[in-house]
Structure 1
Amino acid sequence: MKFSVLSLCYLTFLVSVNVNAQEIAILKYNGGGDWYANPTALPNLIRFCNNHIDTRLDEKPATVEVGSSRIFQYPFLHMTGHGNVIFSDTEAANLRDYLFSGGFLHIDDNYGMAPYLKQALKKVFPNTELEEVGSDHPIFNKKYVFPKGLPKIHEHDGLRPQALGIFHDGRLVLLFTVESDLGDGWEDPSVHKDPEEIRIKALQMGANIIAYAFEN
């Protein structure tokens, strides 16, 4: 029996998920953008999820590179930054195989990332465009209900927040949150001094994203 590269990646993914169930990682990318931004954000979101939606996540998320086979060990990847993003052909293919094999990627624009990221995604999905995810999608109605869709956490350019997605076989595999800055809302209160109400909205939306990724 012959297996395609995608089939082999899928089998690897299934085995890896059994080993690292409910683990998440930060995605490290090239291009000069600050992939390491918001250092307290993901640990705070993890603690919130463990306390409120019954996850059992390691409070210290791993860091994996886009082109590494290690991404298949994690059902959920998080990516953020302010600047440039570049994917090589090999990295783009690896990320595409990961997502089509059952993985999930959340990309949070920390302000200024959007134009570079959209260009980089064309290499990953040459035949698929980002599309807006409506407020009726399950990701906004998982553990917490957001009837208006993505919450606004930071002002940025004063535009409405958008949840943009890539779908494969009916499943949302990539979520790109723009003009919201969830990650800033997840940071320690002393970093941005956001009101507690705003921080809770950001954390609840983050919990919805993680719940969706693990359950779909």
Structure 2
Amino acid sequence: MKKLLSILLLTPALLAAQEIAVLKYSGGGDWYGNPTSLPNLAKFCNQNINTKITAKTSTVEAGSADLFSYAFVHMTGHGNVVFSDNDITNLRNYLTSGGFLHIDDNYGMDQYIRREIKKIFPDKELALVPASHEIFKGPFSFPQGLPKIHEHDNKAPQAWGIFVEGRLVLLYTLETDLGDGWEDAEVHNDPLEVRTKALKMGANILNYAFNN
């Protein structure tokens, strides 16, 4: 984030540093899914980890220069994802200059997003993020790593990442569906314990994005 802010300097875009955004992409996937997720996560973080994130969630397109106004961008969906050449270049520049992208599989996007991530970073491989990584250490402790929120294919939750110069710049969460856990309680009728666990993990992700 520090490198990203140094690029922004003291422009009006700096005011968006405490905003978070949903990534809009092409390909037919429902990028707009889980509409209550980020507002609820922002509220939880403001109440529990002393952030000052606006409750209004912005939308930013993958190829837009506005992407650089956000230290944290969230992406979700169930289906196909297609990044244009401009999207790929813009996302690569964003991530290598201090931005952070969290991709949360809402179930069904795995085969598509892996293909597109490879286009962004052709010289890198997605790597499993170990439970020992700092993103699982605070502000809330997850000694076993990524928590399980929804069953999907009944596999263990997986946290995959792209690292640039030792920094996690892209986190891809699979077989967990954190975003569903962030939604309003009546959407999925998850127990409070499950929703709280999802929100705490989300707070850790935001904390890492804002401070690294």
What is the correspondence of 1:54-203 to structure 2 with a 5 Å cutoff?
A: 54-203=50-199
Q: TM-score, normalised by structure 2?
A: 0.95
Structure 2: runs of 5+ lacking an equivalent: none
Q: Find the aligned partners of 2:43 and 2:4 in 1 and give their Cα distance.
A: 33
What is the correspondence of 1:10-21 to structure 2 with a 5 Å cutoff?
A: 11-12=7-8, 15=11, 18-21=14-17
SS in structure 2 at match of 1:209: helix
Cα-to-partner distance string for 1:44-87 (whole Å, 9 max, x where unaligned): 11100010000000101110000000000111100000000000
Aligned-residue offset at 1:21: 2.2
Aligned-residue offset at 1:8: 11
Aligned-residue offset at 1:20: 1.8
Counterpart of 2:30 in structure 1 is 34
Aligned-residue offset at 1:122: 1.2
User: Is the 1:163–1:177 Cα contact (8 Å) retained in structure 2?
Assistant: yes
Q: Find the aligned partners of 2:189 and 2:128 in 1 and give their Cα distance.
A: 30
Counterpart of 1:3 in structure 2 is none
Aligned-residue offset at 1:12: 3.7
Q: Find the aligned partners of 2:109 and 2:203 in 1 and give their Cα distance.
A: 23
SS in structure 1 at match of 2:195: helix
Count of equivalent residues? 210
User: Is the 1:76–1:104 Cα contact (8 Å) retained in structure 2?
Assistant: yes
Aligned-residue offset at 1:16: 6.1
Q: Given the superposition, is the C-alpha separation of residues 96 and 16 from structure 1 closer, same or farther in structure 2, using an over 3 Å criterion?
A: farther
Q: Given the superposition, is the C-alpha separation of residues 159 and 21 from structure 1 closer, same or farther in structure 2, using an over 3 Å criterion?
A: same
User: Is the 2:5–2:14 Cα contact (8 Å) retained in structure 1?
Assistant: no
Q: Which amino acid in 2 is paired with 1:124?
A: I
Query: RMSD of the TM alignment (CA)?
Result: 1.7
Counterpart of 1:51 in structure 2 is 47
Q: Given the superposition, is the C-alpha separation of residues 20 and 147 from structure 1 closer, same or farther in structure 2, using an over 3 Å criterion?
A: same
